[in-house]
Every structure is written in C-alpha cells, then in structure tokens.
Structure 1
Amino acid sequence: MDEQLYSLEVNDLKKTIGKRQIINGLGFQVKKGEVFGFLGPNGAGKTTTIRMIVGLTTPTSGDIRVLGMNVATERAEAMKKIGAIVENPELYPFLSGLENLKQYARMQQGITTEDINRVVKLVGLENRIKDKVKKYSLGMRQRLGLAQALLHKPEVLILDEPTNGLDPAGIREIRDYIRRLAKEEGMSVIVSSHLLAEMELMCDRFGIIKNGRMIRVEDVKTSTTDKDEAIHQFDIYPVDAAVKYFNEQQISFDLKDSMLTISCPPNKVPGIVRDLVKRDIDIYSVIKSKQSLEERFLELTDDGGEGIA
C-alpha cells in the first residue's frame, strides 16, 4: 500500500472486552489532506476506535499505521504525528488561554513561542488569548482545545464530536477551521459527529461503522451513480398526457400541484424525456433530488443496512 497516499491505515482491527466484541475486523484508510467523517449510531464503536488510534487503549488484534508507522511497535513516534480532541478538551479554567497553551507546550519537545503564536492565529483567538478560560464561551473553549491539539504540528488530527454543544455560529467557525487545516496545511482530519448535515458540509469522504465493522465508505460529493435510484421531479404540460405515458410505461409516480415525481436511475431520464417530447408534451424542468447524508446514513444503519455494498 502506498504510504505516501494515506496518513492513517486501519486494518482488520478487533477489540474484545470480556466476552463482548466491540470492534470486529474494522478497516479503512484516510488520505493526506482530506477531512474524513467517522459516522455510526450510538454504541457502534466510534470512540473505542478513536481511543485505539490515539493510544489510549490497546487493540485485541489488528494493525493501525500512522504515516506508515505501526502504532503497536512505534507508538512514541506515531503519536508525535497525531493531534486529538477526544470528547471535551481538558483545560485549566483559572489560567488564561495563553497560559494553558504554555502548560501544554512544556509537555512536548521543541515547541517555541512562534508555534504558540501560530496556533493562536490559526484558530482566531488573538484578541482573547490572555483572558482566563473560565470567561470563554463554549465555542472559544473548543477553539483553544483545537489550538492545543495543533501545537506540535501534527499531520493527523482526530476530533471526537468537535461541535458538541456549540451554537450554529460556533459550529460554522469550527467547520471553517477544519476545512482550512486540510486545504492549507495539508493535514488529514478525522471527525466523528452526530450532526450529519454538518458533516456533509465539512467532509470529503465518510465511513459508516455499525456493530464494530465498517459497512460503507463514500465520497460525499459523488456518493450516487447513474445506476442508483434517485428522485426526479418533472414540470410538464399537459399533465394528463404525461400521466397517460407513465401509466403505459408502468412507471410509478406521484402527482402534486402539476408536478410529476418519479424514482428511477438518472441514466433512464434522457429516454423518458425523448418519449415525452415525441408526444408533444412540453418539459419546463427536470429536477433531480440528491439523497442527503442523513438519508444514506439511516438507510445503511437500519436493520437491513449491513447488506448494502
């Protein structure tokens, strides 16, 4: 496997606690410079997987590699390449934001004042960095936690619920920072969240985990193909003639406010349009409705989801 392409590789990962298998043969890769969404219902094994990646717990078996380094045998070197916020960032409320960063810097080797100034600017806390953390809003605390995770210049950033508890403005801020890190810094960012609409805006790809197994990895922008079913709305006239055509072709449809809606693969639509034109039916528009990430997530994680390739 090309170690230059992937920042993180997880292969056949398993974790058993007592008699219960939490993670069952999990595998996925994260490319350099991408934002990868890590999704799954409660209890699917997301946080357990993240804790194994960052070295907080040990896999029962399997292989985790960070920039080609095996976390089991090269843990110290691999951890230098990872920054992480698992759940809420741990901060000292009676110290300033700057003092918090200095405390964390003492735990790492080679972190300079310039590094501190760099991350403060990166997360937009220049005007408040000397204020005590107890005066920070939740969004500012999240940004300071992000600055702390970025202080040692990691190449892989792992964020578990980074927008948890934030208002819409704070969520947008964190999303913009994450996108900028991937685009401008070339960083690989793995994000776990329940906010599926937000993940769709933030991520390049996403993986869905269920019962400790990865059941689907998709590109956010091109996760449907011409062979997948999609909803199409036809604004056409006369409607009666169009209804007659769809009935003759045994194509199921819904009719509402002079709009005909059908479900079919996109590659079938041009033929339908040609047939309608031949019947002197005017077509004002055909609108394809993209299936949302939430809809795909629910489709894949219901009782039948594991069977979807």
Structure 2
Amino acid sequence: MECIAKLSGLTKEYRNGRGIRNVGLELYKGDIYGLLGPNGAGKTTLLKMMTGLIAPKQGSVTLFGHNTEQSFAAAMSKVGCMIESADFYDYVTAGQYLKSVASFYPNVQKERIHEVLEIVGLTANVKEKIRHFSTGMKQKLALAAAIMPYPELVILDEPTNGLDIEGIVLFRELVTRLSKTEGITFIISSHMIHELEQLCNRVGIIYEGALIQEGNVSELLQDIPSLEQFYIGELQKAKGGPRIV
C-alpha cells in the first residue's frame, strides 16, 4: 500500500497540560481513517499540525513525500481540509465564497464551483447569502471548499456537526464514493462513533494526548460487537479501570 502521510513523534504541550505527546501514524492511499477521543484529547491539535496551522515542538509531518516544515507548499499541494467550525463572510453568497477559494488554485476552473456544490447538495443555494445558511449548510459549504482543488488527501475535523440525519447519510455516501472512485484518502475526527464504524476502514483513539490504540476496524471488532464498546473499553484501560465489554 502506498503511504501518503507519515506523522512521526509529534509533540506539542500547552500551558494547561493539554496537547499531544509522541504521536505517530501513517495513512495509505484510499484510507478512510477515523480519529476518536474525548474533548480535549488532542484530535484537533493533531489535525492542525498536519495542515501547518500549528508547529510541533518535536516530530515531523510528511505528506506525499514532502516534509511540511521544509517544503510546505509541495506537501499541501494535494491536500484539502476543514478544521474546527466553518467560518465565513456572511454577506457573500455561496458561489462568491467558492469563487474566492478557487482563486487560490491555478488548476481550478470556475466550472468546479458548480461541481462541488452539486456534490454536497447545495446547487440550489449558489446565489444565497451565507448569513441565511443553517449550521448544517455551512458545514456542507466548507466540505465543498475542501474538495475544490481535486485533493488526494482530505482532513476533516468534526465534519458532521450540525448536519441532520439525511445530511449525515449523504456525507457518508460522499466520502465512500470519493474514496473508491477517486482514490482520495480521508482522516476524519468525529464524536459520532456509529458513523465512523460504518464509514472507516481504520481508526485511532487519542486519550490525554497519546495515541493509545489504532488498527483496522474489522480486526479490532473481531471479538467486540461495536466500535462504541471497543472505544469505551480502551478508555477504561487507559484510565486504569476495568475494561467494559
């Protein structure tokens, strides 16, 4: 399998004691990798390090063979991302916003705007101002921006926040389709364990800044009926208590 992302020994600690410590993982082409962990465990910090928004105190991030500290533009050239909550200028329309996003990518033509809006189900809202969008619609627009540059790796932090059941199902179908047909690799942080179980082929669990467990979902669940039970059991072990199965 082709390794497209390698994280080695990533460490970043904040004054409040949070952060991540000596985290390493690899992503392979076509992976849908789910990142699980309690609030404050370090999931967003890890994803921000992957995108260069935070510099690690120690460790390195290599994307498509390029170290992000040494060759940031080359490393990020095939990456799309949506980190934390979707933020927009409310006075512009969805189409205007995506046009501004497209201007950062020389290989993206204006036709791509309509393509990504259709993919996320916002075609009818192209001329609507973002201030009228629901939270779920803003999440969809952020996802459209993330896939705008024909990425080979997409990094998503809580992408289903604010989506209704229909929106969550459509998101799952979209990610599955893009992974299978385009070979896009995804790493997704989410609290929705049931969705990740259906969507991901690999998962990793972060607790108090450390990657305490990872592996193929099918292998991890050989003797446990659900990813939720596996997750709770791993947290109990990490806390030093009895494992719940």
The TM-score normalised by the length of structure 2 is 0.91
Letter paired with 2:135: L
Q: Deviations over 1:229-285 (max 9, x none)?
A: x4xxxxxxxxxxxxxxxxxxxxxxxxxxxxxxxxxxxxxxxxxxxxxxxxxxxxxxx
1:233-244 correspondence runs (5 A): none
Q: Name the counterpart of 2:73.
A: 76
> Structure 1 residues 16 and 137 mapped into 2: Cα distance closer, same or farther (>3 Å)?
closer
1:187-226 aligned within 5 A: 187-225=184-222
Deviations 1:127-170 (A, max 9, x none): 22222222333322211111111111221101100111222122
2:3 alignment partner in structure 1 = 6
**How far 1:115 sits from its partner (Å)?**
2.3
Q: Distance in 1 between matches of 2:34 and 2:45?
A: 16
Matched residue count: 242
SS in 2 for 1:121: helix
Please, which runs of 5 or more residues in structure 1 have no aligned partner? 231-289
SS at match of 2:136: helix
CA distance in 2, matches of 1:176, 1:129: 22
Give 2:141's aligned residue: 144
Map of 1:125-144 to 2, 5 A cutoff? 125-144=122-141
SS in 2 for 1:50: helix
| AA of the residue aligned to 2:26 | Q
Aligned ranges 1:28-107 → 2 under 5 Å: 28-107=25-104
CA–CA distance in structure 2, aligned partners of residues 21 and 199 of structure 1: 25
Contact 2:18 2:40 in 1 (8 A): no
Q: Does 1:298 align with 2:223?
A: no
Q: Name the aligned partner's letter for residue 188 of structure 1.
A: T
| 1:267-308: CA deviation from partner (whole Å, max 9, x where unpaired) | xxxxxxxxxxxxxxxxxxxxxxx5211111111012546899
The structure number with the bigger radius of gyration is 1
- Judging changes above 3 Å, is the alpha-carbon distance between structure 1 residues 19 and 169 closer, same or farther for their aligned structure 2 residues? closer
**Does 122-131 or 140-149 show the bigger shift?**
122-131
| 2:25 match: secondary structure | strand
Q: RMSD over aligned Cα, in angstroms?
A: 2.1
Q: Distance in 1 between matches of 2:172 and 2:238?
A: 32
The match for 1:123 is: 120
Partner SS state of residue 169, structure 2: helix
Deviation at 1:21, TM superposition (A): 6.4
For the 8 Å contact 1:119–1:147, the answer to whether it is kept is yes
* Higher RCO by CA contacts (8 Å cutoff, separation 6 or greater): 2
SS in 2 for 1:127: helix
Unaligned 5+ runs, structure 2: none
Percent identity for Structure 1 against Structure 2:
36
Question: Aligned partners of 1:180 and 1:159: how far apart in 2?
Answer: 16
SS in structure 1 of the partner of residue 218 of structure 2? coil
8 Å CA contact retained: 1:207, 1:218: yes
Match of 1:24 in 2: 21
CA contact (8 A) 2:108 2:148 kept: yes
Equivalent position to 1:109, from 106, 110, 114 = 106
Question: 2:52·2:68 contact (CA, 8 Å) conserved in 1?
Answer: yes
- In 1, Cα distance between the equivalents of 2:55 and 2:182? 30
